[in-house]
Amino acid sequence: MSFKLSKSVAYTLKAGGIAALILLMLIPQAFVAETIEGRDYYKQEAVSKITGSWGGYVLATPPVLFVPYNVKEIVTNDKGKKEIVEKTLYAKYFPSELDARIETKTQIRYIGIFNVPVFTADITISGAFDQIALVEGARLSEAFIEIGVVDIKSYSQFDLLWNDRGLSVEAKTTRAALKGFECVYSYDCSSLFASTDINKNSPNSFKIKAKVKGSNAISFAPLAGVNKINIVSDWRDPSFTGSYLPDEKIVGNDGFDATWNITNVVSNPSESSRLLAYFISPINDYRNAERATKYCILFIVLTFALFFAFEAASKKPIHLIQYLLVGFAMVIFYLLLVSISEFIDFAFAYLIAAFATIALITSYIKFGALKYLNAKQVGGVALSFVFLYGFLYVLLQLEDMALLYGSIVVFIALAIIMYITRNIGWYDEKN
């Protein structure tokens, strides 16, 4: 006795099976995403090893002058009696003007297949303090200068001139580079201290010359009233962030030249009052691959829906195993993309992985799942996959507009599927 399902029941069961396969594809997608995350973590470990031995983030700051002074306060002691105590406070003075120039030369360091840009920097900072208005009780003989740095061990030279006289500096590790100027990021900071004398009736000039090894970024704290900062490098792909962007910049094949002119209106500069120049690769391949995997299930849904539309329109069944194999091919695309991009440029890696995937799926369609299609129809299917993967690449480049363009394309894809299936009689068993 044979049993034949009605067309509506058969379509419902097939659609349910396809939906189950889509849910099943979440497993390999999660595996691929975890693999990408693991490779990214492995790369970050390699980066940490290089920067740990070479030198990390560089913070450059001008000197800040501190003058201790005495104040008397009335306090209540443990016995409830009032008494006068003397306390030491510090008057803090920032430069009135400064001119800073930082010249860097970069090189690439390798660990395994990973590379990290590092640099050496020549830092020159000169400027002056206007005539200093001393507070009452100032102890001039105990005045000192403090200069914030991140890692003093990465400096091969640090010379400080105060009123054209060389001062010896002493390093002390603290969690704050400057009193009132908190250390940026999570680095342990150091402060360089130097005792000095002060011209009470005329400006005090300073000049700093330093050589330092670093990586990732250079940050400068524009603490003076008037700041001119110039950073010059042979690195071609900088990124400028922080509280201040360059007033002028030239970026070319020979590197970059950026200049800031900043008038400091902040009476108490803080950690956020800084400019940064990053020495980074323009594209994070792992991040791009991770973003691409988020579209994996969407692409599988669109592909399966297209296959189901062909199946319903042609009345020639496609087995669920064939759906599954096509889905696995689409997931493996991301593994190919990540593994190839570790050795060549991401764009070329994407082209190779996409071409291999499209060729595999198209061949399978031609000789297996939809072998009844003629050459023109197979070409149309191939072009649809070319558009799909081409559009994914565009989405990766247009990060801010990805949601808008993605929504539009999904809407268009749904409209196409609805058009293909418009004449199917879902309940008409004679159709």
In a domain, 400, yes or no: yes
Give the pLDDT score at 103: 94
Tell me the per-residue pLDDT of 223-280, one tens digit each, with 9 for 90 and over. Answer: 888 999 999 999 888 888 878 889 999 988 888 999 999 886 544 455 456 777 877 6
In a domain, 50, yes or no: no
Do 269 and 358 lie in one domain? The reply is: no
Residues in CB range of 14: below 8 A, 6 or more apart: 308, 311, 317, 320
Do 80 and 172 lie in one domain? The reply is: yes
Residue keyed to tokens 């303090």: 129
Domain that residue 414 falls in:
7-43+286-420
Please indicate whether residue 323 or residue 190 has the higher confidence score (pLDDT): 323
pLDDT higher than threshold 90 for residue 122:
yes
Q: Give the lowest-confidence range in 69-78, 114-123, 133-142, 246-255.
A: 69-78
In a domain, 365, yes or no: yes
Do 36 and 132 lie in one domain? The reply is: no
Give the pLDDT score at 260: 92
In a domain, 393, yes or no: yes
Domain boundary among 252, 280, 308: 280
Three-state secondary structure readout of the chain: CCCCCCHHHHHHHHHHHHHHHHHHCHHHHHHHHHHHHHHHHHHHHHHHHHHHHHCCCEEECCCEEEEEEEEEEEEECCCCCEEEEEEEEEEEECCCEEEEEEEEEEEEEEECCEEEEEEEEEEEEEEEECCCCCCCCECHHHCEEEEEECCHHHEEEEEEEECCEEECCEEEEECCCECCECCCCCCCEEEEEEECCCCCCCCEEEEEEEEEEEECEEEECCCCCEEEEEEEECCCCEEEEECCCCCEEEEECCEEEEEEEEECCCCCCCCCCCEEEEECCCCCHHHHHHHHHCCHHHHHHHHHHHHHHHHHHHCCCCCHHHHHHHHHHHHHHHHHHHHHHCCCCHHHHHHHHHHHHHHHHHHHHHHHHCCCCCHHHHHHHHHHHHHHHHHHHHHHHCCCCHHHHHHHHHHHHHHHHHHHCCCCCCCCCCC
Instruction: Tell me the percentage of the chain whose pLDDT exceeds 70.
Output: 81
Domain boundary among 231, 253, 280: 280
pLDDT higher than threshold 90 for residue 211:
yes
Q: Give the lowest-confidence range in 44-48, 137-141, 314-318.
A: 314-318
- Judge if pTM exceeds 0.75: no
Do 238 and 312 lie in one domain? The reply is: no
Mean pLDDT, the chain, whole residue set? 78
In a domain, 426, yes or no: no
Do 274 and 290 lie in one domain? The reply is: no
What average pLDDT does range 40-54 have in this prediction?
Answer: 80
Do 176 and 314 lie in one domain? The reply is: no
Give the pLDDT band (50/70/90) at residue 182: very low
Give the pLDDT score at 2: 47
Do 322 and 194 lie in one domain? The reply is: no
In a domain, 300, yes or no: yes
Q: Give the lowest-confidence range in 88-102, 114-128, 162-176, 414-428.
A: 414-428
Q: Give the lowest-confidence range in 143-147, 175-179, 200-204.
A: 175-179
Please indicate whether residue 409 or residue 426 has the higher confidence score (pLDDT): 409
In a domain, 2, yes or no: no
Angle of helix 26-54 relative to helix 320-341, nearest 10 degrees, comes to 10
pLDDT higher than threshold 60 for residue 181:
no
Give the pLDDT band (50/70/90) at residue 428: low
Give the pLDDT score at 193: 76
Give the pLDDT score at 100: 93
Do 29 and 71 lie in one domain? The reply is: no
Per the structure, the count of domains in the chain is 2
Give the pLDDT score at 180: 43
pLDDT higher than threshold 90 for residue 377:
no
Query: CA-CA distance, 387 to 357, in Å (whole number)?
Result: 13
Do 107 and 217 lie in one domain? The reply is: yes
pLDDT higher than threshold 80 for residue 191:
no
Give the pLDDT score at 407: 74
Q: Check: CB of residue 149 under 8 Å from CB of residue 211.
A: no
Q: What distances in angstroms separate CA 238 from CA 147, 251, 275, 276, one per listed residue?
A: 26, 8, 13, 10
Do 123 and 269 lie in one domain? The reply is: yes
Give the pLDDT score at 210: 92
In a domain, 425, yes or no: no
What average pLDDT does range 93-116 have in this prediction?
Answer: 86
Do 264 and 367 lie in one domain? The reply is: no
pLDDT higher than threshold 70 for residue 429:
no
Do 243 and 381 lie in one domain? The reply is: no
Domain boundary among 257, 280, 303: 280
